[in-house]
A and B are shown apart, each in its own frame.
Chain A
Amino acid sequence: MDHTSAMYLGAGLAAIGVGMSAIGVGNVFGSFLEGALRNPSAADGQQGRLFIGFAAAELLGLIAFVVAILILFVVK
């Protein structure tokens, strides 16, 4: 396998991480909704925590995206 095709394969593999973080973000919001529908009066107080969880899950996907971009445009 030559260098360029290995590069593109690596970037494509890094994109799996982005999809995984989509599962994570969906899990965060889904679980929040599940709890919020059971006890709607407590939901508003937990919105800060919802976004902290969202930020943490999303960050890993964004880092995977950065890895893909680094492989494509920076690594020679």
Chain B
Amino acid sequence: MAGDINPMEQFEVGHLIDLKLFGYDVSFTNSALFMVVVFVLLATFMAGGLKRQLIPGRWQAAAEGAVSFIDSMVNVNIGKGGKKFAPYIFSLFFFILFANLVGVLPLAILPGLHTFAVTSHITVTAVLAFFSFGIVLLVGLFKHGLKFFGLFVPHGAPMVLLPVIVPVELISFLVRPFSLGLRLFVAMTAGHILLEVFGSFAVQGLNAGFNGSPIGFVVWLGSFAMIIGVSALELLVCAIQAYVFALLTSLYLHDAVHLH
């Protein structure tokens, strides 16, 4: 059958404006374009909500709800001394959420338009994860000094077991940025591949149906139903992954601030 549909094609980063700086390629790519789109959307959302009316309108109520949602997450998970991390968690959560949602927008039905999921690239998610990890390290070391390494010794662990527990705790600490970045990247990539695969089934089924094999229409109908279902699931995954990223970052910050 005709149809070499490559499910990985949607993740390709292409140059929009070629730029060189000190011999490095710093071209403006479609990835950068969609980060700008996400930033503009987020800035518009927040700027429109900063009205300080006594009786909030819909927009202001939405922005206030967003802020108080992050505020309560920070209060519950970091506790005392967590207030100053709220802006970071807020930016993290809403950047990831908006990037995920922009990535699944079905704009490809307009010819030439093609959304790009920024968070489906490990370069982006790993940078976010290393930001979180770096903040945890800096906060922990500045606040507790060398006592910060007491994090690797759980309370009440018998001395005999320490040679085993400390390396395990150390590894689980060092793996955090990788698991944080990998989770978001793979969850988004897997969802987009799944959508693309069912999309190619639908196209090829329709082609086969018009070429004289009626079973193609059945395949098309089934694939189309799956696309709708998977899209709904993707919306849920977008929100959950953003929430999990912010939640785990605030938990790690709790460790850094309070040491257990």
Question: Which A residues are closer than 8 A to B by beta carbons?
Answer: 48, 51-52, 54-55, 58-59, 62-63, 65-66, 73
CA distance A62 to B181 in the complex (A): 12
Q: Which of A48, A59, A73 interacts with B179 by CB under 8 Å?
A: A59
Chain B, interface size: which category? 10 to 19
Within 8 A of A (CB), among B230-244: 240, 243-244
Give the secondary structure class of B's interface. helix
Given contacts A48-B77, A52-B248, 13 further A-B contacts (CB under 8 A): A48-B76, A48-B247, A51-B240, A51-B244, A52-B247, A55-B183, A55-B247, A58-B183, A59-B183, A62-B186, A65-B190, A66-B186, A73-B8
Number of A-B contacts (CB under 8 A): 34
Give the Cβ gap from B7 to chain A, nearest Cβ, in Å: 11
CA distance A59 to B245 in the complex (A): 12
Q: Hey, which chain A residues are within 8 Å of B179, CB to CB?
A: 59
Closest residue of B by beta carbon distance from A72: B8
Q: Contacts A48-B76, A48-B77, A51-B240; is A59 near B248 (CB within 8 Å)?
A: no
Within 8 A of A (CB), among B74-102: 76-77
CA distance A58 to B8 in the complex (A): 22
Question: Which B residues are closer than 8 A to A by beta carbons?
Answer: 8, 73, 76-77, 179, 182-183, 186-187, 190, 240, 243-244, 247-248, 251
CA distance A62 to B187 in the complex (A): 7
Q: Hey, which chain A residues are within 8 Å of B244, CB to CB?
A: 51, 54-55
Whether A62 pairs with B251 at a CB distance below 8 angstroms is: no
Give the Cβ gap from B185 to chain A, nearest Cβ, in Å: 9
Give the Cβ gap from A75 to chain B, nearest Cβ, in Å: 15
Q: Which of B190, B247, B248 interacts with A62 by CB under 8 Å?
A: B190
Whether B248 pairs with A66 at a CB distance below 8 angstroms is: no
Which of A51, A52, A62 has the most B CB atoms < 10 Å from its CB?
A62
CA distance A23 to B77 in the complex (A): 28
Which of A52, A54, A55, A65 has the most B CB atoms < 10 Å from its CB?
A55
What are 6 inter-chain pairs, A to B, with CB distance below 8 A?
Answer: A52-B251, A55-B183, A59-B179, A63-B186, A66-B182, A73-B8
